[in-house]
A and B are shown apart, each in its own frame.
Chain A
């Protein structure tokens, strides 16, 4: 079965500092991994995804994530935080083919950015 664990329900950084949001996964099949962002009172927006191929994935708004199979991790990073990055971030793994491709989400990490 697939599962996702996000380490830290809340992360606070200063504007301009490195953003690091941690995600570890468990999957019985080669994983497809996703990071979504959710702004207040809005739906989820895809930041980036890993399916196959290059393990360093670049997404929107300057975010990137690296798939590390040996560590079963898919951490999200951004070199320099901006105030507009304050939001809830969700890591997700796609379920196995016989599960219809549903997304299994972590519990989320709320990112705060201090001026």
Chain B
């Protein structure tokens, strides 16, 4: 079964660092781009960025560029989203999602269960 399993909930303070994970199983990790999507409390979905696990090519949305880093580790089929200095406004649900085809320009067909991040 194709799955994305995300790391557990996080409670942090402003200024702290954080790295959340998204572990893939059931398919060849390097063949499909992974995106990260943010959902602030009571709000809609916002695309944050994507990574190509075959060559580490990354694209970010302008609002998060420079504030987050998307990376991966092919040896453990895992994508990551990290912050070096959290802000209270980073409080949100974060989802990873797999792109349906290999191009990275496509629908998100498999989603992780989400990781809630709370920053005070």
Specify whether A and B are partners: no
Binding site for B on A (CB under 8 A): none
Residues of chain B at the chain A interface (Cβ within 8 Å): none
